[in-house]
């Protein structure tokens, strides 16, 4: 288990010139993790660690991730390596160039250990995969691992790495983070370039880190964020500071009324009240907001996501349908049958909904705190992952609090706030566009407050 933080690892690797030794330890720890790692790239990791030790011997550092062992969801291209997408082996591709996000982590000094399992083509919030099974839940054995960044959540939760990249189109960073009791940071859509990343839904896809702590998630996000001159959606905005400065004076935090929380458990309700009381005691202003209409945006978000996914997969689905699992094939076939006007209407609603949220929520408060899941992650044996209406209802219940955030394009961070006998409870800190820094500031305060109270 990796007990040292990213900062501590980087400092130790630099002063001790022992990235190679640490990498061997990490490789030994992951050797039997066949439900988390889809592929261990040991030779590349060893070569990278050796080069970093050579650099450190001259007194130089590669960057803030010098010698830090990481691993990532199997949807980010690396030149000369197969990107598997969590799919049938025939669907994988040999990458010709390295994705921007991996290249930036490399430049900052990471040692990439390999590929982590994911839901097939990033479609599925439970972590189940028709071809490869489901990664183990590292916080509550037998529970779902969350998807689609299931391996990323499990790898961080198990302490095999301190941070891993995932993607989030409807909750796919935050759900596995919540299920495994770690931090998941979904940035503003357009904050991180998608160059060299498997697409699912062009207008809602984001890339971000899962990490043990808020500080580590913030640091990794600061490394990968910013335009690359290739992705036309990625915006040139103020960078994210790699370190926090504390909760700013005058911060206003919103909490939802009961209208958006129909399925929240009693213990989640109590946890939200506890957090709100703690903020009030600290002098942080809080306000109750009516965001009942957010629940109605889930279907429009799904129409957009599935319509765009159908466009991504149309050719492959027609040519080699056998490479798809039954659930994903069924969902894509249903998506292909959606009328075009439904997609157009959903896009129009998104514009109106964003404007309304900015005015009625973030015109009153700076940040919003809501659950990530209604309660702890459900047990894998209790969920129905079959086709038809059953899977639609399951997905709807799991992404109830996450999918509207993708619909708006806003940033959100999920962090654990309590450990129960059934697993962790997690909440999201949500903000308007480009508010990642203040989100992390409040989340870090919550993290320290929860730890102090534990």
Catalytic residue numbers? 73, 148, 172
Between 214-224 and 6-16, two packed helices, what is the crossing angle to 10 degrees? Answer: 70
* HSE value, Cβ hemisphere, 13 Å, CA-based, for 429: 28
Contact present, 75 and 198 (Cβ < 8 Å): yes
d(CA 210, CA 185): 6
What value, to the nearest 5°, has the Cα angle with vertex 6 and ends 5 and 12? 90
Exposure b/e, 263-278, CB count within 10 A at least 16 = b: ebbeebeebbeebbeb
Report CA 22 to chain centroid distance, whole Å: 26
User: Using the 8-state DSSP alphabet, how is residue 81 labeled?
Assistant: S
d(CA 446, CA 417): 8
d(CA 291, CA 245): 30
> What is the DSSP secondary-structure string of 261-311?
-TT--HHHHHHHHHHHHHHHHHT-EEEEE--GGGGGGHHHHHHHHHHHHHH
Tokens (6 digits) for 1: 């288990």
Contact present, 374 and 397 (Cβ < 8 Å): yes
Distance set, CA 207 to CA 103, 166, 323 (Å): 14, 6, 25
What value, to the nearest 5°, has the Cα angle with vertex 126 and ends 121 and 131? 50
Nearest to 398 by CA among 421, 423, 433, 371: 371
Helix (H) or strand (E) holding 447: helix 436-453
Tokens (6 digits) for 122: 């990033």
Contact present, 139 and 181 (Cβ < 8 Å): yes
Strands (E), 111-226: 111-116, 163-168, 183-186, 206-211
Helix (H) or strand (E) holding 22: helix 19-30
């Amino acid at each position: 288990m990796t007990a040292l933080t990213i900062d501590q690892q980087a400092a130790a690797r630099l002063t001790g010139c022992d990235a190679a030794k640490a990498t061997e330890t990490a490789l030994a720890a992951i050797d039997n993790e066949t439900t988390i790692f889809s592929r261990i790239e040991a030779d590349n990791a060893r070569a990278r660690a050796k080069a970093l030790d050579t650099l450190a011997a001259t007194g130089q550092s590669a960057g803030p991730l010098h010698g830090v062992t990481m691993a990532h969801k199997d949807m980010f291209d690396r030149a000369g390596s197969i990107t598997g997408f969590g799919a049938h082996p025939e669907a994988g591709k040999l990458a010709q160039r390295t994705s921007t996000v991996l290249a930036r982590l490399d430049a900052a000094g990471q040692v990439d250990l390999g590929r982590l399992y994911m839901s097939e083509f990033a479609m599925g919030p439970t972590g189940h995969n028709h071809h490869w099974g489901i990664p183990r839940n590292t916080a509550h054995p037998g529970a779902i691992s969350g998807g689609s960044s299931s391996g990323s959540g499990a790898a961080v939760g198990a302490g095999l790495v301190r941070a891993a990249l995932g993607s989030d189109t409807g909750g796919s960073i935050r759900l596995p983070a919540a299920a495994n009791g770690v931090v998941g940071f979904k940035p503003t859509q357009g904050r991180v370039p998608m160059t060299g990343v498997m697409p699912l839904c062009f207008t809602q896809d984001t890339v971000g880190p899962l990490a043990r702590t808020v500080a580590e998630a913030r640091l990794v996000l600061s490394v990968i964020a910013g335009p690359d001159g290739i992705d036309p959606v990625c915006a040139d905005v103020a960078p994210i500071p790699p370190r926090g400065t504390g909760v700013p004076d005058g911060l206003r935090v919103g909490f939802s009324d009961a209208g958006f929380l129909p399925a929240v458990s009693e213990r989640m309700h109590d946890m939200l009240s506890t957090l709100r009381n703690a903020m009030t005691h600290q002098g942080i202003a809080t306000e109750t907001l009516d965001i009942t209409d957010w629940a109605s945006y889930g279907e429009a978000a799904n129409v957009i996501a599935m319509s765009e996914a159908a466009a991504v997969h149309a050719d492959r689905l027609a040519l080699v349908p056998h490479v798809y699992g039954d659930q994903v094939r069924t969902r894509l076939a249903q998506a292909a049958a959606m009328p075009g006007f439904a997609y157009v209407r959903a896009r129009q609603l998104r514009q109106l909904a964003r404007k309304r949220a900015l005015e009625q929520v973030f015109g009153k408060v700076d940040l919003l705190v809501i659950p990530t899941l209604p309660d702890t992650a459900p047990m894998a044996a209790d969920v129905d992952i079959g086709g038809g209406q059953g899977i639609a209802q399951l997905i709807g219940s799991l992404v109830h609090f996450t999918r509207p955030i993708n619909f708006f394009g806003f940033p959100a961070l999920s962090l654990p706030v309590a450990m129960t006998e059934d697993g962790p409870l997690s909440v999201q800190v949500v903000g308007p566009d480009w508010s990642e820094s203040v989100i992390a500031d409040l989340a870090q305060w919550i993290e320290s407050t929860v730890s102090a109270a534990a």
